[in-house]
Amino acid sequence: KNPKTSHDYMREWFDYHCHPFLQSILKQDKPPSSCFDCGRAHGSLWRCLDCDSSPHLCRTCCKISHRRHPFHRIEVYQNNVWCGAFLWHVGAIVCLGHGGAPCPGYRRTRDELEDMCIRFNGILSEPPNLENDFSSGHSPRECDLGRGRVVTFVHTNGFHHLPVFPCSCEGAPLEPLQHIESGFYPATFNLVSTVFTFRVLQHFHLHRVDAHMASEAYCSILSRLTNSTFPHLSPDRKRELSRVWQQFNYLEALRQFGFGFYAGGVPPLPGQGDLALWCAVCPQPGINLPHDWASQEDAWRFWRYLVADGNFVLNHLLRYSREQGFSLMNGSAFMAEAVRYAKHLGNAQDLKEVPTCNTHRAIANRNKAKKGYDCTGIMASACARHGCFAPGSVCDMQLGENRQCHGDYSLCQAVKTTHADKTPGVLFAYDVNCQFCVNFRSRVQKGQYLDYPSNLALVFLIGLFHVHGHKEECLPRFAPTFCPGTGVASGEILESLWSTLNGIAGVIRTMTLANRSDLLDACMADSNLKKLQGMVKFLIRQHSRARTEEGLADTAFRMLNEEVHESDRATWSAMMLAANAARSDDAKSMDVYCVEQNSVEPRKVAEERLGMEEKNTRTPTGTTAWLALGIELQEAQWPPTVGLGPTTQRTTSLLKLKHSWPELNRGMRRVTSCFPCLDLIFLRLGAVSDMECVCQGQVCQCKRDILNPEEEDVYTLLPLPSSIDSPPQEWEHLKAIEEKLREAQATEILEALRTEIGFKSCLYRENRQFTEEKRERTRMYDAINRVDRTIRYHTRRYIQCRWAMGRLGMLSRYPQFEVLTRDHVRPVTAVFQPNARGQRDLSLSWIWTYRTKGTKGTTAYLKELYRVSWIRAISRRDRWREELKLVTSEMSWFVRYCLYQRDECAKWEPKSDSPGAEAFARGRRAMWR
């Protein structure tokens, strides 16, 4: 029998249970008859909404039963309806010290103090008349009660006003400390008027770091819980809540990391990263590694694997007020210490380098300076395998990732705070490492506040999601797949962390920088704590996956390996070993992992070479220049702005076409001088037929590309060997010259297309979900539209070039230049949507492989494909073998980490100042055990 689904249960509930449930709920508001405790009938009875079964009670029984529960919600039955009320109406009070009993200094019993409070407010004999009180009698009329006073309590179910009687014994703690010992946190220190229960602070903390709730939203919920009809009549304590939570969060961090244990000495101050919980399974000498780890085999297991990335959602608006705020953490958790980091930015000098990859262009386009922001985002480092933020490595960015000083500081701090300097080396993954790594060592040497050990090995990597948007050479040089010791970590784990952390962006955007820093610290601490709590489950799951995938990868490699000759295996293995050995000194050594490509002569070089050869042939001087000029004029008549931009762009395009007339006339004169007997008037010229639509998306832009009549007057067919239907006999040898020029032109166009497609893929990757700001969204759409226009322009150039190649009869000799359609110029899905369904079965367009050495089907071509496939198959197998070894080691490292923390907590108890501190130290020790 098939089990019921949630929809089946919902349908059954609606058909059979909805109205019975409704009637049972309505019965809860039945009128009271007698007190549930004493059994006597009273004129007015109360009911508690928080006690089990909501019992009906008389005033005396309600007061006595709630002496240990002063924050329950109650109602009173008046005028045949239930009205909202508060426990102070029945005489509830709070006594500090003496276990909740009244201080002997008052010389009164608890009953006398309770009666005094309600007598002062005139409700000793009868309950207050709440019929016309929209606040439900929220606050007492008299707030000064001798040595006691009415204090506002903030609890998880709303706001409460209760009389408080502090201890007045000689030597008693100050009133704020009495509140704290009783479980209440005061909002002020001198005259306490508002306190927060520890439960509400813990509750708000979880909402803050897990649900990313603002203090305004939380206080709004408390107001509605206090008075659901008129919530605006409740007290406004959001400012106090934000301040108290910041203090409470800092105190909790000090307590959990043992800074409250100093045996009456000087309280220790936390240093950099001392209040941050880091990864439990990353190798840390002296913490979770055995004493003889340095002499063990497979030393690559002990390398530190870090990843860095920038987040541009967590930005900060420029504040024009002079209020600066005060950070309590200030570098002791995950955010960098503000003063030192500011000095680093002031002294850092970025080396301007020409961008070499599409990813750099995408970042430059996205991360332009924004007006009104003093912080455009954050830069963070984390462990690449498990996603734990590195202490002290998260810093603010002013001008995006274009400033390398942000990444420099983040990496150096992560190496320092995670004790990576004690490991054999560091693997560092970053989106733009192909550019970042060029002058990193020199920047560290010049940086006064940068410190990276000169003898510590460093290997630069690029995450698998981003590396596909880089140049072709970046894949073997920086992809973790081809780097020994990385396992199968993608190097992109920060992307998943950002998706969670971005929920706090709207809350921190308008805070002071100091408060923003503390809140980010709390959210990242919660993220690392969740990683620790789920580590055992993750390791078990990853170990099972690694065993399965290692077997599959090994089987796939052995099947391919059987098809390869033994001499080739030896040659390729030696090639891989040599390339990896030289990787740290020169990443270009990894280029042997790429498909070897045929070298193609650049267009300008071909023109110069053919022009020089004219002297040794019977070709008239200037013929090559004339053919090259003709090809250039053909392209000039289809500029990338024709029909695609506003009126000003169309006007500019038309002017450029008109300005090409002198060049056209010069070309005609050159033809006449080279072939004086040729009459150009009687030549029949051909033109490209209608081109296939190559527009991306559902909206076709081809109609906007059609030349208007004014532009058609400028368009002219040029007399080239490929465009003449019946070329003269003396032009036969010119076809060979144009053939070489067309080959260089086609290669140049395809390279331009690959660059633009890669750039567009990166734009899609970086802006999958466009920003919420209209201005930013428009900027991103404009950037993609500009790339689309350029792609359509190059596509038209290629179609025209291939048409000319067909007219010259050269397509059979150049099969690599295939027909180009819209499917061939789509963005690379592996870049902007790497987890799309069926992604594994998709293959790249032919434009990405057209330069592979050898002709398709030949021995050289197949051998090259075998070589690359063999290298990638063995790399995949090796990475899964490494993953299995790493996970197995991490299981033991996790146990060692817990035992290390247990032993550290055992050192707290002898330094405790109170029995409570001793009990807490024992509790922490038991937790790690």
Residue entry with tokens 């008693």: 172
Q: What is the Cα–Cα distance from 711 to 616, expressed in whole angstroms? A: 41
Q: What is the Cα–Cα distance from 465 to 329, expressed in whole angstroms? A: 34
User: What is the tens place of the pLDDT at every residue in 203-259?
Assistant: 999 999 999 999 999 999 999 999 988 899 899 999 999 999 999 999 999 999 999
Between β-strands 56-57 and 46-48, what pairing exists: parallel, antiparallel or unpaired?
Answer: antiparallel
User: What is the tens place of the pLDDT at every residue in 847-904?
Assistant: 766 665 554 544 676 677 788 889 989 999 999 999 999 999 999 999 999 999 999 9
Please count the other Cβ atoms lying within 10 Å of the Cβ belonging to residue 761.
24
Residue 779 has a pLDDT of 58
Contact call for residues 46 and 12 (beta carbons, < 8 A): no
pLDDT band (50, 70, 90) for residue 643 = very low
What backbone torsions phi and psi does residue 39 show, to the nearest 5 degrees?
A: 80, 0
Q: Locate the DSSP E strands across 222-345.
A: 304-311, 316-317
The four Cα atoms 174, 175, 180, 185 give a dihedral, to 10 degrees, of -130
Tell me: pLDDT of 483 over 50: yes
Which letter does DSSP use for residue 830 in this model?
A: H
Of 30-34, 91-95, 139-143, which has the strongest mean pLDDT? 91-95
Residue 273 has a pLDDT of 93
Q: What is the Cα–Cα distance from 227 to 687, expressed in whole angstroms? A: 80
- How far are the Cα atoms of 264, 267, 273, 364, 523 from residue 921, in angstroms, in the given order? 16, 17, 21, 51, 25
User: What is the tens place of the pLDDT at every residue in 310-362?
Assistant: 999 999 998 877 777 899 999 999 999 999 999 999 888 766 666 666 555 55
Tell me: pLDDT of 168 over 70: yes
Q: Tell me the pLDDT of the chain averaged across its residues.
A: 82
Q: What is the Cα–Cα distance from 866 to 569, expressed in whole angstroms? A: 11
Contact call for residues 185 and 153 (beta carbons, < 8 A): no
Residue 137 has a pLDDT of 63
Helices (H) and strands (E) in the chain, counts: 31, 17
Tokens of 585: 């000194």
Tell me: pLDDT of 110 over 70: yes
- Reference 359, options 287, 269, 467, 494; nearest CA is 467
Of the listed ranges 345-359, 452-466, 620-634, 817-831, the least confidently predicted one is: 345-359
Residue 216 has a pLDDT of 95
Between β-strands 158-165 and 148-155, what pairing exists: parallel, antiparallel or unpaired?
Answer: antiparallel
Q: What is the Cα–Cα distance from 811 to 816, expressed in whole angstroms? A: 9
Residue 360 has a pLDDT of 56
pLDDT band (50, 70, 90) for residue 787 = confident
User: What is the tens place of the pLDDT at every residue in 264-277?
Assistant: 788 889 999 999 99
Higher pLDDT, 373 or 129: 373
Please count the other Cβ atoms lying within 10 Å of the Cβ belonging to residue 692.
11
Tell me: pLDDT of 707 over 50: no
Residue 715 has a pLDDT of 46
CB burial of 776-801 (b: ≥16 within 10 Å; e: otherwise) equals beebbeebbebbbbbbbbbbbbbbbb
- Reference 96, options 153, 21, 148, 61; nearest CA is 148
List the 377-383 sheet strands across, edge first.
395-397, 377-383, 304-311, 425-429, 457-461
Torsion over CA: 811, 817, 818, 822 (sign): negative
Tell me: pLDDT of 692 over 70: no
Higher pLDDT, 659 or 370: 370
User: What is the tens place of the pLDDT at every residue in 586-637?
Assistant: 888 998 888 776 666 677 777 788 877 776 776 777 777 778 877 877 777 6
Tell me: pLDDT of 640 over 60: no
pLDDT band (50, 70, 90) for residue 816 = confident
Q: What is the Cα–Cα distance from 571 to 558, expressed in whole angstroms? A: 17
Q: Which residues pair with 397 in a beta bridge?
A: 377
- Reference 459, options 493, 492, 491; nearest CA is 491
Tell me what the mean pLDDT of segment 86-114 comes to: 90
Q: Which residues contact 817 (CB under 8 A, 6 or more apart)?
A: 746, 802, 805, 811, 850
Of 80-84, 134-138, 552-556, which has the strongest mean pLDDT? 552-556
Please count the other Cβ atoms lying within 10 Å of the Cβ belonging to residue 254.
19
Runs of H (alpha helix) within 675-818: 702-705, 709-712, 734-766, 774-807
Tell me the percentage of the chain whose pLDDT exceeds 90. 47
Residue 585 has a pLDDT of 83
pTM for the model stands at: 0.78
H/E run at residue 595:
none
Contact call for residues 359 and 466 (beta carbons, < 8 A): yes
pLDDT band (50, 70, 90) for residue 648 = very low
- Reference 597, options 847, 871, 874, 875; nearest CA is 847
Radius of gyration of the chain (CA): 38
Q: What is the Cα–Cα distance from 868 to 591, expressed in whole angstroms? A: 11
- Reference 428, options 412, 439, 417, 444; nearest CA is 412
Runs of H (alpha helix) within 123-227: 175-181, 198-210, 215-226
Of the listed ranges 155-164, 271-280, 484-493, the least confidently predicted one is: 484-493
User: What is the tens place of the pLDDT at every residue in 523-546?
Assistant: 999 999 999 999 999 999 999 999
Tell me: pLDDT of 650 over 50: no
45 three-state secondary structure = coil
Tokens of 920: 């807490």
Higher pLDDT, 357 or 648: 357
Tell me: pLDDT of 494 over 50: yes
665 three-state secondary structure = helix
Residue 874 has a pLDDT of 93
CA atoms within 13 A on the CB side of 779: 15
Q: What is the Cα–Cα distance from 835 to 842, expressed in whole angstroms? A: 12
Residue 839 has a pLDDT of 42
Residue entry with tokens 């289809």: 638
pLDDT band (50, 70, 90) for residue 165 = very high
- Reference 877, options 429, 541, 546; nearest CA is 546
Contact call for residues 248 and 185 (beta carbons, < 8 A): yes
Tell me the percentage of the chain whose pLDDT exceeds 70. 78
Please count the other Cβ atoms lying within 10 Å of the Cβ belonging to residue 491.
32
* Chain centroid to CA 154: 35
Q: What is the Cα–Cα distance from 691 to 689, expressed in whole angstroms? A: 6
- Reference 704, options 777, 779, 782, 793; nearest CA is 793
Please count the other Cβ atoms lying within 10 Å of the Cβ belonging to residue 834.
18
Residue 709 has a pLDDT of 45
Long-range residue pairs from 757-760, CB within 8 A, at least 24 positions apart, any chain: 757/791, 757/825, 757/826, 757/827, 757/828, 757/847, 758/358, 758/469, 758/470, 758/471, 758/828, 758/831, 759/358, 759/361, 759/362, 759/787, 760/784, 760/787, 760/788, 760/791, 760/827
Higher pLDDT, 634 or 397: 397
Residue 760 has a pLDDT of 74
Q: What is the Cα–Cα distance from 792 to 703, expressed in whole angstroms? A: 13
